[in-house]
Amino acid sequence: MMPGWIEVIIRSISIIFGLFFITKILGKKQLSKLSFFEYIVGITVGDIAGTLSMDLELNLVNGITSILVWFSIPIFISIIALKSKGFRDIVEGKARTFIQDGKILEENMKVEKYSTDELLEQLRKKNIFQISDVEFAILETNGELSVLLKKEKQPVKWEDLFNSKGNIGERPITIIMDGQFLEKTIYEAGYSLDWIKEKLRSRKKAVKEIFLGQIDVRGDLYLDFYQDHLEYKKERNHGEN
């Protein structure tokens, strides 16, 4: 009969390689980018793996089956989330604005159970000590605070000196995502859905063809298409013939 310590070594090595393989399938998300659900799955799987390594009375096959089930759920959810923004909002949550035009949005902070001390601490980590200097502060779905300073507080850039058009807005606005209009964002930014549709008609494009659409700081419409690489190859080949 195999000594217990040898079986522990074999079990541990097998589980380590198994977890490495499964993690590669899940993708290259950093720990800080994991959703709350993915974080819980990681903790649970780690606990199962550790128990399997040490408890020789547990059935190894059953334990591995349990790990595979726990890992299959986030893979299944991520596939659906890639295809549906509504589902992605439910699972991963939405980014929420905490500061706008130098004003704190207290109600949004209450929804996220975020205290004033926590907000100020996150701003200090970004070397920001004055709330009035902030144009936008947004809590991302991974818990990170993204901050945009007001124009006069930002470092001078090349386009600030040589751009003759001037700036219409302070940040790009995402108005199309995954082939769907973000109507609430469009109206909150002061644009109309009819204006966006007219822009698409002028380019002979349908919204379902667009992976991402943004209005930049100059008011120009940027579109990224699902099939843009294929179109580029076709145009290039056509020009070579």
168-228 has the same fold as 96-155: yes
| Least confident among 28-32, 81-85, 121-125 | 28-32
pLDDT digits (tens, 9 = 90+) for 179-227: 888 888 887 777 888 888 888 888 888 888 888 888 877 778 888 887 7
End-to-end CA distance of the chain: 73
The highest-level CATH class for domain 168-228 is alpha beta
Q: Does CATH number 3.30.240.20 belong to domain 96-155?
A: yes
- The H or E element that residue 209 is part of is none
Can you give the pTM of this predicted structure?
A: 0.54
Compute CA distances 21 → 13, 16, 64, whole Å. Answer: 12, 9, 13
Place 231 in a pLDDT band, splitting at 50, 70 and 90: very low
User: Domain coordinates of the chain in residue numbers?
Assistant: 4-89, 96-155, 168-228
